[in-house]
Amino acid sequence: MTQPVGPVDASKNPRYAGIATFARLPRIEDVPRADLAVVGIPFDTGVSYRPGARFGPSHVRESSRLLRPYNPAQDVSPFAIAQVVDAGDIPVNPFDIDDAVAEVERAATALGEQVSALVAVGGDHTVALPLLRAVTRKHGPVAVLHFDAHLDTWDTYFGAPVTHGTPFRRASEEGLIDLTASCHVGTRGPLYSKQDLVDDERLGFSVVTSEFVEEQGLDAAIARVRERIGDRPLYVSIDIDVLDPAHAPGTGTPEAGGLTSRELLRMLRSLSDAHIVGADVVEVSPAYDHAQLTGIAASHVVYELVTLLAAQVDRSR
């Protein structure tokens, strides 16, 4: 195997210079083959409150310039053991949700044939539905580990069935989700009624709330998640609003009382032996960000996911 092409060398080209690919990695067209791809989905037509997540992919890339090639927390050099690339952005229709969702599914399916797995950067959470459709073409129904302040299993908004608050209801109805092994983490805040929780359980989700993490501790939360997801093929979907607004102000629907960035990163690292088949990090809205707090948190989340996937690629050889 040829040696993977890594990030631009910061000792020869300043971090603040050059094209802002994720972690200054090569573009997919600049390498002969790739194992993993980071891809942007600049779409936010499905939001119900603050818009702006269409600018999330470029903001996360810009915020990732300081990432380095060795991850000491996982003891892995992800860019040395797998060819990781930036696949650019999927161009989507900003005026038609159905057309945009279809385009994301087509593009993610095609890209998934070139690489082992994708980490998508949104964009709003609507994009999780077409991404799940694409990944289940390869793997069948998957366990979904969903980090979010919100359930995202509501039915419709203004009669629209596909929005950023409905992707996991639609995915469950379409048979994309393993109903025995899926889990929300970090949910909190007011709901429309207690029926929301009843519906959510019927749709296949267990819940580890933000309050559970606070009251029982992170180790208990990790144990509960690992027991739930087991060894199934796993899709990880992360709405950056799972973090408290103190850690991620730049998002469309912030809720007080969230996880810290340190807690989220540790929970991701606990998945080192899981069978991850894809992931997304969504809802970064840079107009509400300050000093790149949200962008930096999101870029580190993507980095941890890429590290987990690179180690998985390396083990499979």
Q: List per-block mean pLDDT (blocks of 10 residues) for the chain, which spans 317 residues.
A: 89 92 98 97 97 98 98 98 98 97 98 97 98 97 98 96 98 98 98 97 98 98 97 98 98 98 98 98 97 98 98 94
Q: What is the pLDDT of residue 317?
A: 85
Q: What is the pLDDT of residue 2?
A: 81
Q: Is 60 exposed, middle or buried (0-12, 13-18, 19+ CB in 10 A)?
A: buried
Pairing of strands 233-239, 275-282: parallel
Q: What is the pLDDT of residue 247?
A: 98
CB-based contacts of 193-201 (< 8 A; 24+ apart in sequence): 196/151, 196/153, 196/154, 197/151, 199/153, 199/169, 200/151, 200/153
CA distance 151 to 174: 17
**45 contacts 95 by C-beta, under 8 angstroms:** yes
Give the containing element (helix H, strand E) for 46: none
CA distance 299 to 278: 16
The CATH code belonging to domain 22-316 is 3.40.800.10
Tell me the three state secondary structure of residue 278: strand
**Beta-carbon contacts of residue 231 (< 8 Å; ≥ 6 apart):** 274, 275
**44 contacts 53 by C-beta, under 8 angstroms:** yes
Which residue ranges make up each domain of the chain?
Answer: 22-316
Place of tokens 């939360």: 221
Q: What is the pLDDT of residue 1?
A: 63
